[in-house]
């Protein structure tokens, strides 16, 4: 029996014709995140803040250091996009407090299930459906970890004739990606079959964040898996129960992501200063994760091995250290951030 979303999308396609990959991804993820907490060992995937408290603490220290060197403005807003279970925020806020920073907390989150989890950890947060309603009259301390990869991406497909929007059709009881009509694309001709991804939603959000930072002051830290240069290739993937699954099956039941194009995000960040992208491993080491891990291990010898293993998972090149990248935006009037040697 097809579930609700499969049936709804199949009907939609039968009635109106194939839908864009971006619409397919948007519908699938809205359903997926809206109906569950996908994080943790019992869920579908594990993120850096769920691996170790060190991740959120170092993010908090990074923000507190910038804030201090920017003259410690009395009012500041911590803004997190897609905060998951609120773990990163709770760890970062604790570290910020030790540094004398107690910002207002604003979460941009669409999932009711995850909002509930966030409320349990950070009860005094204010929730927003998108960034447009975040306060306009204070510096912003913005964090987004594994947020942009979940936003809907378009795929463009090259043929002998030019570029086509890649669409999703419903044929013989299955979703199938197909070439749609030719579209004008600002892209050089490419070999037939080449796929280029763009993320209009990500570009729009980064533009808005950059505009806000330029006007209000502050900084943003964006962490995600992806590539430093724009490239070609289909990176759409589905993850379920800690393994890869078919993205064209059971939309809404598995996490759909694409690799983040950091070059495109940099280009979208007009009017602000940029640092990075660097790798997550390098950034965490620059931020002192080795010392932090050693201190934690010393304070809790029984957990020393676990702490060191978590640190390795975050920084090792063959784990999260290389694939994940860190990009910082800041108001031109704010100081250079730490972590980008």
Contact positions toward ligand SAH, by CB under 6 A?
29, 33, 39, 47, 49-50, 82-84, 88, 108-111, 114, 145-147, 150-151
Q: Which residues pair with 257 in a beta bridge?
A: 237
Nearest to 95 by CA among 301, 288, 266, 299: 288
Q: In the bound complex, what is the minimum distance in angstroms from residue 173's beta carbon to ligand SAH?
A: 28
Q: What are phi and psi of 114, to 5 degrees?
A: -75, -30
Non-local (6+) Cβ contacts of 94 within 8 A are 57, 60
Q: In the bound complex, what is the minimum distance in angstroms from residue 130's beta carbon to ligand SAH?
A: 7
SS3 for 78?
Answer: strand
Q: In the bound complex, what is the minimum distance in angstroms from residue 273's beta carbon to ligand SAH?
A: 24
Nearest to 183 by CA among 208, 162, 203: 162
- In the 8-state DSSP scheme, what is residue 147? -
Please state, as a whole number, how many other Cβ atoms lie within 10 Å of the Cβ of residue 12.
15
Contact 225, 321 (CB under 8 A): no
Q: Which is nearer to ligand SAH, 61 or 150 (CB)?
A: 150
Reading the block at residue 246, the tokens are: 């078919």
Q: Which is nearer to ligand SAH, 145 or 278 (CB)?
A: 145
Angle between helices 289-299 and 304-315 (to 10 degrees): 160
Contact 79, 134 (CB under 8 A): yes
Q: In the bound complex, what is the minimum distance in angstroms from residue 72's beta carbon to ligand SAH?
A: 27
What is the Cα–Cα distance from 107 to 83, expressed in whole angstroms? 7
Q: In the bound complex, what is the minimum distance in angstroms from residue 271's beta carbon to ligand SAH?
A: 23
Q: Which is nearer to ligand SAH, 170 or 199 (CB)?
A: 199
What is the Cα–Cα distance from 341 to 339, expressed in whole angstroms? 6
Q: In the bound complex, what is the minimum distance in angstroms from residue 190's beta carbon to ligand SAH?
A: 30
Q: Which is nearer to ligand SAH, 52 or 250 (CB)?
A: 52
String of b and e for 95-128 (b: at least 16 CB within 10 Å)? bbeeeebebbbbbbbebeebeebbeebbeebebb
Q: Which is nearer to ligand SAH, 47 or 250 (CB)?
A: 47
Q: Which is nearer to ligand SAH, 33 or 170 (CB)?
A: 33
Q: Tell me the residue number closest to ligand SAH, measured at CB.
A: 82
Q: Are strands 218-227 and 195-198 parallel, antiparallel or unpaired?
A: unpaired
Q: Which is nearer to ligand SAH, 109 or 261 (CB)?
A: 109
Please state, as a whole number, how many other Cβ atoms lie within 10 Å of the Cβ of residue 188.
7
Q: Which is nearer to ligand SAH, 21 or 331 (CB)?
A: 21
- In the 8-state DSSP scheme, what is residue 336? P
Q: In the bound complex, what is the minimum distance in angstroms from residue 43's beta carbon to ligand SAH?
A: 10
What is the Cα–Cα distance from 256 to 246, expressed in whole angstroms? 10
Q: In the bound complex, what is the minimum distance in angstroms from residue 279's beta carbon to ligand SAH?
A: 17
Q: Which is nearer to ligand SAH, 26 or 214 (CB)?
A: 26
Q: In the bound complex, what is the minimum distance in angstroms from residue 92's beta carbon to ligand SAH?
A: 11
């Amino acid at each position: 029996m097809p579930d609700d979303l499969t049936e709804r999308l199949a009907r939609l396609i039968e009635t109106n014709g194939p839908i864009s990959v971006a619409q397919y991804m948007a519908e699938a993820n809205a359903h997926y995140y809206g109906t569950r907490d996908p994080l943790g060992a019992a869920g579908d995937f594990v993120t850096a803040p769920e691996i170790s408290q060190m991740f959120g603490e170092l993010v908090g220290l990074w923000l507190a250091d910038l804030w201090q060197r920017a003259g410690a403005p009395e009012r500041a807003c911590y803004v997190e996009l897609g905060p998951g279970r609120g773990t990163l925020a709770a760890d970062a806020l604790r570290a910020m407090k030790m540094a004398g920073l107690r910002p207002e907390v604003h979460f941009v989150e669409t999932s009711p299930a995850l909002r509930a989890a966030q409320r349990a950890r950070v009860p005094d947060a204010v929730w927003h459906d998108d960034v447009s309603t975040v306060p306009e009259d204070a510096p912003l301390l913005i964090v987004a970890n594994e947020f942009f990869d979940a936003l809907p991406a378009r795929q463009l497909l090259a043929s002998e004739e030019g570029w086509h929007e890649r669409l999703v059709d419903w044929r013989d009881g299955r979703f199938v990606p197909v070439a749609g009509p030719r579209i004008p694309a600002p892209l050089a001709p490419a070999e037939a079959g080449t796929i280029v991804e763009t993320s209009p939603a990500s570009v729009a959000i980064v533009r808005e964040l950059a505009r806000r930072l330029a006007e209000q002051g502050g900084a943003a830290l964006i962490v995600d898996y992806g590539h430093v240069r724009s490239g070609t290739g289909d990176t759409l993937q589905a993850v379920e129960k800690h393994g890869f699954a078919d993205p064209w099956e059971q939309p809404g039941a598995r996490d759909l992501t694409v690799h983040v194009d950091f070059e495109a995000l940099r280009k979208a960040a007009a009017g602000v200063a940029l640092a990075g992208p660097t790798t997550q491993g390098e950034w965490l080491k620059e931020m002192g994760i080795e010392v932090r891990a050693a201190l934690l291990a010393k304070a809790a010898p029984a957990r020393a091995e676990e702490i060191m293993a978590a640190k390795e998972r975050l920084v090792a090149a063959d784990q999260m250290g290389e694939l994940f990248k860190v990009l910082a935006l800041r108001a031109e009037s704010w100081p250079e951030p730490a972590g980008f040697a």
